[in-house]
Amino acid sequence: MKADGATAMLVRLLDRSIERIGEMAVGGRAFDRDEVARIAGAWEARAHGFFSVVALRPRLLREPRARGVLRAMATARSERDWMVRTAGAGIEPLIGRGRPEPRHYRDVLGRVRPGVLPVDGPALAVDYDLPMAALEWLSIERLGAGLGATLSLRAPRRYSDGDGHLHLTVDGLREVWFDSADTTGADVRDSPGGPEIRLGAEGLLRGSAAHILPMDVQWHLSRAGRAVDRITVRKRRAAPGDEPERWPGGRLWGAASAFREAVRRIHRVRRAEEVGRIPIAELCEVLAGAGTRAMAASDGPAADADRAFRILTERWSSVGPDGPEAGEELPDGARLTLMMYETESRLVTVNYVDPGDGRPRAAKMIWPERVLMGNDGDELTLTDGTEGTPSHF
């Protein structure tokens, strides 16, 4: 196996992925839920591809298949980015340049649909009555060394009856202020320091970049939709490397299934309330060196391969059940990594660093009165607006 070949790089990417998740899981404030979910989700989706490479003999056949798996994983530029961060720059010649997600495409009925778009405040205000928009939910989260926000607005359409749902993201978040008693009305502005999203009379999200995904079944009738209708291809092209899922059989099947189930458990942290329930550190401990171990088992003497894969299956299935569901209380001294507010239910979900063991945890509580969310530099603050004092933070 060439040290700089596709097979070796695929193995390295898997081994480093598990290491990286494990480092974040025990790193307290370094825990990046979005990155953990992204990496684990990629391996859940491509577990079959990796083990189909492991199953190939002779070894010469592995290189083109491994290159295809790497390229398929890196189709979107966002996926390519985490692969380079994880495996290093040496992976770049093997995965190509990637491609941006389409800004517009057509659905099965031929209607033009939006992808993720840069936020254009004036254009958005033409199609939606933003002063009458209502916040559905807002999430503020630590992403790497900075902060980011996601939110959903329900906004009356100006071009048709009914409401559209607008999902927005703000990257490089520098300033946050939100009052749960002030959730009607929105505005999107450009400022010298970057885009601003105004919520209610005083709410503010200010960051370095903002994007929007309109979740609106009638978007093709909007001014923005009609403007791109003539230049949008009628079919969404398949991504290079897309192919039907192929699972290896025989002695590899059990190990492949156990591996996929383990990374699937880790991937569940995409739901903030699952943080703390999933034994991420323990799963990463048993998955350590998964790529190297699987390849070594396949390359060993045939008489030993069955036993080697049986040992891997048992190892990767050995972690016990999930922990208890998110609690309703926050310990003193906890530091927030995520706070989310849902307007209709008044449900507050938080992720925090446990002051005792430094592990990520979650809590969920119905906030009966007013809640204030903000930041102090890179620290998140959650305040009971009726008391006027921070709640634990």
Q: What is the pLDDT of residue 303?
A: 76
Closest CA to 247 of 44, 15, 10, 47: 47
Please give the distance of CA 222 from its chain centroid, rounded to a whole number. 29
Following CA atoms 335, 341, 347, 353 in sequence, which dihedral angle do they give, to the nearest 10 degrees?
-10
Q: Which residues contact 302 (CB under 8 A, 6 or more apart)?
A: none
pLDDT exceeding 70 applies to what percent of the chain?
92
Q: What is the pLDDT of residues 175-197, one digit of tens each?
A: 999 999 999 999 999 888 889 99
pLDDT at 77 over 50: yes
Task: Give the residue, 169 or 328, on which the prediction is more confident.
Answer: 169
Q: What is the pLDDT of residue 261?
A: 97
The identity of residue 235, as a single letter, is: K
Question: 390 in helix, strand or coil?
Answer: strand
Token readout for 309 is 């894969």
Local confidence band at 49 (pLDDT 50, 70, 90 cut-offs): very high
CA distance 389 to 167: 31
Q: What is the pLDDT of residue 292?
A: 97
